[in-house]
Structure 1
Amino acid sequence: MFFRAGLAAGLVSTASAAAITITQLSDGQIQAAAVTATPGSASASASAAGQYSPLPYSYPQSPSVNSAAVSSVVSVAGIPASEIPGATNAIPPVISSQVTGVTSHGPFSGTPTTTGAVSNSPLATAIPMLPPNPTALVYNPNGTLNDPQPIPYQPAGGLGTNGTEPVYRVQSDFDYESVLLGLYQEWIELDLFHYILATFSEEEFTAAGLTPSDRFLIEFMADQESGHATLLSNLLGGPGGATPQCTYNYPFTTVHEAFDFTQKLTRFGESGVWGFQSHLDSREVAQLLDQSIATEARQQMIFRQFSGLFPMPVWFETGIPQSWAWTLLAPYISSCPADSKRLAWQNFPALNVLNQPNSARRNATQTGFNETTGFGPAAPSSDVPVNESCVANNVTGFDCSASISQNRSIPLSFPGREVFLSWENPGKAVGPNNSYVTDTKAGAPAWVLWVSQLNITYSPLTNISVQGGLNYGQTIQPDVSTYEGDPAINGTMFIALTDVNLPYTAFNLSNVNPHVAAGPFLYQAG
């Protein structure tokens, strides 16, 4: 069977000047060839010269018909399967831990065999700040059509709109390393959702205000992650480019802590993709990532609701650079199999907010020092005594039980709040197998960078000191708005320490990386 662009069968196409057809062989391998064969034939003509040749898939890829599902459909519909469009179509399978190996949990205790991020010979130490591309200032948005339409009802312009056949595969090192990072994120989410269900009893869920239907929703979200992991693995080219699941280490001990951690982890998973998808060389890959991350955003909202937080307290969701997302994710990956693919992104020295607002408190302004549990930049708010807790506190404005929406009478944080910080020096082993090393190219930190919604802003870093090998300082939470009525600093957002206070926008935020001295950290602003 032949598949154009390969998407329906979970395959990837190769690019060439001529159109390319994809053949799926009987053993699950795929072969690219010039379009000279008749569609529907069993093999292609000849391999396209000079084209990328994918390795055989190590997991099932051959589409098949689920006869049990077809029988169920027929029993409900009351008509033969032959009369139901698509009922007997073969469906490509998803990747799961059953075919990649069951994951485990806990910290890493071995010795790394490889150290550091993937690298070759960087051409420079920073990306220069240049003026706008002159072509970006030419178009006149005057309400009329300024150029001839290619066809009726379609205005001139747009990328990928000239009729070229889509090619669903990464097209550059930037694409590959970005999507590979996304796959690491999808794998941990798939494991985390299952782990929560396996770790806590139905009675513990009930005590947190959740029903069996809520537990099923978590299971369904895990199924979504299987689909996301399958998609990204295929975009990376299967076993030649994809990476398997790893061993993970989580910092929570209660249901409420688990949900607070998960809403933070899904926050940086979503924001990490928003940060890079518009920069991908492959617009086709960006399109599919948009469609998966739209679901991821809904998952983050659900876990905020399970945590008793307002589901979406911001008008815009922010994007962060890949190195920020990798720094946030790496502490929760203990080890990975030997055939795992290594990432090129930076691991910054860890940053910590010592008085992180505690979302489990009725009055978060009473948060003291170190009211998080576990470890890492997404450490959840720790549970507090019952008489101080908002969990199962049936008082409007002071309840954080699971709910569609909970409005807090006292906000978690506020402009003018003193924020106390600590941060590590570079050179610490982190991530899978302790095989990555934190690093910074920045000078001494002098500013706190706040990244939320469409904005970045800075606040001075003051009272800097060093004690016991850790660095300490403090700052004041700024008072800024995206637009009138929308406080920019809200929700679960991001802070980092920098050596300068240069301006950046949502589209070029990654240019700040050479100036990041520590961070990022997920600040629980609301």
Structure 2
Amino acid sequence: MFVKAGIVAGLIATAAAAPKKQQKAVTSTTATAASAGINTGLPYSYPQSPSVNSAAVSSAASYAGIPASDIPGATNAVPPIVSSQVTGVTSHGPYNGPAPTTTGAVSNSPAGTAIPMLPPNPTALVYSPNGTLNNQQPIPYQPAGGLGTNGTEPVYRVQSDFDYESILLGLYQEWIELDLFHNILATFSEEEFTAAGLTPSDRFLIEFMADQESGHATLLSNLLGGPGGATPQCTYNYPFTTVHEAFDFTQKLTRFGESGVWGFQSHLDSREVAQLLDQSIATEARQQMIFRQFSGLFPMPVWFETGIPQSWAWTLLAPYISECPANSKRLAWQNFPGLNVLNQPNSARWNATQTGFNETSGFGPAAPSSDPPVGQGCVGNNVTGLDCSASISQNRSIPLSYPGRTVYLEWENPGKAVGPNNSYITDTKAGAPEWVVWVSQLNVTYSPLTNISINNTNGMNTGMTIQPDVSTYEGDPAINGTMFIALTDTNQTYTAFNLSNINPHVAAGPFLYQAG
């Protein structure tokens, strides 16, 4: 069964009823039962029947001054949103529960260890872009070609394991964003927001963005088939203690959430799913820009947004998920060993070149810049070019980072328990790291990893590199904004479309580097 094109907005009933193949290698009884669509009794409600909000309809009719029956669509039933928790509020903090009984990513005997690097598909070199129509048009005003343009009815559901695991990862991301936006509002007082330069209208914007996440979580849950294939909200652990730190963390989290989707959406087997995903991630991109503005950063300092592989996005996300319900679905993606920049540029300083070591708050690859000592911070500085108060746009006279900057790194060995219930284990298939890969905009650039020290006194590996000087196009420095670095055992060429092929060569990372 499938969802007809005429009810795409609802994605109801028929999509949820689509049969799902039971996931292999999941030994938890409740997780297996949930995969088969059996109600486990856990607080994961998923109402499928559209309904009419009579109060809202009456309000609209009263405001318009005409009967509700005269307003097109007013009395139409509306699909409900997913509700993961009975109370609507999840808990927070690190995981303190028992050792997990199921560990590692979902797997079923992989056929190999790496995807081979092959030459281009010969058919991709045939078409001549010469300004004329080279093939017969199917109908007037429509050129030949395109996927899903032959009149077949759209089917809005995942079509492969690749689709399923990609959209499931996206749902994990939507759930944490929904919680994070609410948590920021609940954690900080109105006075703290005011001190950070934000108004009640800004607070309402955060609340509205949380509402957007409810819609995104509903959409992806439907595409996964409802409770039988989707996953509920979890418990989260955040690394911030101040409003400015919260916004810096959130602009980083929404950055890898957006980039994670750009990395896989064009590879999905279901073009229909990719279409709806694009329409949701376009909103995510705007959210990331808003939180950069709240952080006093330039809203969009790059010409192109980058895409990253799913395993990169999962490695970045997992440290901030403490615990998930027993009926949660397990992911197939890799968790790489953690990577950290010891002198991460501090976006809260009016002069980031004065950043010392460990000027971040909390933990993890998206740890926010910590608030600097009095007199060294840029919030409320009120000097053009040196201010990072919340604003539509702040042009920083002193860049956060720059070509030629020495970047000091430390990274973990594989085998660490991370993620929900500490049930995922970091792993790498790479050899000893020799390079730092910089992934930003359309570029994949390498710099040598030097001064390498393996397993030093604090149990961490350390090294350093020099920030490259590269441009995407003239006038567009490639390394800018909140972008991604990782350690590799190769400097092989990859592009935006085949970047996931780098995964067997990643020794540690990725890490969100605050370049601008």
Q: TM-score range by the shorter chain?
A: over 0.9
Distance 1:30 1:344, change over 3 A: closer
Separation in 1, partners of 2:275, 2:322: 31
Aligned to 1:436: 424
Aligned to 2:460: 470
Q: In structure 2, which of residues 423, 429, 433 is the aligned counterpart of residue 445 of structure 1?
A: 433
Deviations 1:426-474 (A, max 9, x none): 0000000000000000000000000000001000000001312210000
Q: Secondary structure at the match of 1:386?
A: coil
Separation in 1, partners of 2:507, 2:59: 58
Q: Secondary structure at the match of 1:355?
A: coil
Q: Are 2:515 and 1:514 equivalent residues in the alignment?
A: no
Q: Which amino acid aligns with 1:329?
A: L
Separation in 2, partners of 1:8, 1:382: 42
Q: Are 2:508 and 1:492 equivalent residues in the alignment?
A: no
For the 8 Å contact 2:429–2:504, the answer to whether it is kept is yes
Aligned to 1:60: 47
Separation in 1, partners of 2:4, 2:235: 37
Q: In structure 2, which of residues 492, 502, 505 is the aligned counterpart of residue 502 of structure 1?
A: 492
Q: In structure 2, which of residues 152, 169, 174 is the aligned counterpart of residue 164 of structure 1?
A: 152
Aligned to 1:284: 272
Separation in 1, partners of 2:233, 2:439: 30
Deviations 1:226-249 (A, max 9, x none): 000000000000011100000000
For the 8 Å contact 2:247–2:292, the answer to whether it is kept is yes
Post-superposition offset of 1:59: 1.5
Separation in 1, partners of 2:60, 2:383: 46
Q: Which amino acid aligns with 1:73?
A: A
Q: Which amino acid aligns with 2:235?
A: T
Identity %: 87
For the 8 Å contact 1:59–1:100, the answer to whether it is kept is no
Q: Are 2:80 and 1:79 equivalent residues in the alignment?
A: no
Q: Which amino acid aligns with 1:495?
A: I
Aligned to 2:233: 245
Aligned to 1:40: none
Distance 1:336 1:53, change over 3 A: closer
Q: Which amino acid aligns with 1:233?
A: S
CA RMSD, Structure 1 to Structure 2 (Å): 1.7
Q: Which amino acid aligns with 1:497?
A: L
Q: Are 2:142 and 1:174 equivalent residues in the alignment?
A: no
Aligned to 1:11: 12
Q: Which amino acid aligns with 1:104?
A: S
Q: Are 2:82 and 1:95 equivalent residues in the alignment?
A: yes
Aligned to 1:413: 401
Q: Which amino acid aligns with 1:136?
A: A
Equivalent runs, 1:226-237 vs 2, <5 Å? 226-237=214-225
Q: Secondary structure at the match of 1:474?
A: strand
Q: Secondary structure at the match of 1:356?
A: coil
Post-superposition offset of 1:54: 7.0
Distance 1:136 1:303, change over 3 A: same
Q: Are 2:312 and 1:359 equivalent residues in the alignment?
A: no
Aligned to 1:133: 121
Separation in 1, partners of 2:438, 2:13: 39
Q: Which amino acid aligns with 1:486?
A: D
Separation in 2, partners of 1:160, 1:4: 14
Separation in 1, partners of 2:449, 2:267: 31
Aligned to 1:37: none
Aligned to 2:383: 395
Equivalent runs, 1:111-126 vs 2, <5 Å? 111-126=99-114
Deviates more, 1:257-266 or 1:105-114: 105-114
Deviations 1:188-245 (A, max 9, x none): 0000000000000000000000000000000000000000000000000001110000
Distance 1:61 1:407, change over 3 A: same
Gaps in structure 2 of 5+ consecutive residues: 20-34
Q: Which amino acid aligns with 1:219?
A: E
Q: In structure 1, which of residues 257, 261, 266 is the aligned counterpart of residue 245 of structure 2?
A: 257
Q: Which amino acid aligns with 1:355?
A: N
Q: Are 2:314 and 1:323 equivalent residues in the alignment?
A: no
Distance 1:125 1:91, change over 3 A: same
Q: In structure 2, which of residues 301, 312, 315 is the aligned counterpart of residue 313 of structure 1?
A: 301
Higher relative contact order (CA 8 A, sep 6+): 2
Separation in 2, partners of 1:202, 1:114: 43
Q: Secondary structure at the match of 2:375?
A: helix
Equivalent runs, 1:6-45 vs 2, <5 Å? 7-11=8-12, 13=14, 30=17
For the 8 Å contact 1:13–1:167, the answer to whether it is kept is no
For the 8 Å contact 2:246–2:368, the answer to whether it is kept is yes
Deviations 1:311-337 (A, max 9, x none): 000000000000000000000000000
For the 8 Å contact 2:360–2:368, the answer to whether it is kept is yes
Q: Secondary structure at the match of 1:518?
A: strand
For the 8 Å contact 2:46–2:83, the answer to whether it is kept is no
Q: Secondary structure at the match of 1:513?
A: helix
Separation in 1, partners of 2:234, 2:228: 17
Aligned to 1:189: 177
For the 8 Å contact 1:31–1:53, the answer to whether it is kept is no
Post-superposition offset of 1:83: 1.1
Q: Secondary structure at the match of 2:280?
A: helix
Separation in 2, partners of 1:328, 1:3: 33
Deviates more, 1:218-227 or 1:56-65: 56-65
Separation in 2, partners of 1:521, 1:31: 38
Separation in 2, partners of 1:100, 1:502: 50
Q: Secondary structure at the match of 2:292?
A: helix
Post-superposition offset of 1:98: 4.4
Give the TM-score, by structure 1 length.
0.91
Deviations 1:285-328 (A, max 9, x none): 00000000000000000000000000000000000000000000
Separation in 2, partners of 1:306, 1:72: 34
Q: Which amino acid aligns with 2:49?
A: S
For the 8 Å contact 2:105–2:332, the answer to whether it is kept is yes
Post-superposition offset of 1:3: 6.4
Post-superposition offset of 1:518: 0.1
Q: Which amino acid aligns with 2:77?
A: A
Post-superposition offset of 1:31: 7.7
Separation in 1, partners of 2:13, 2:121: 33
Distance 1:58 1:388, change over 3 A: closer
Give the TM-score, by structure 2 length.
0.93
Deviations 1:158-209 (A, max 9, x none): 0000000000000000000000000000000000000000000000000000
Distance 1:100 1:244, change over 3 A: farther
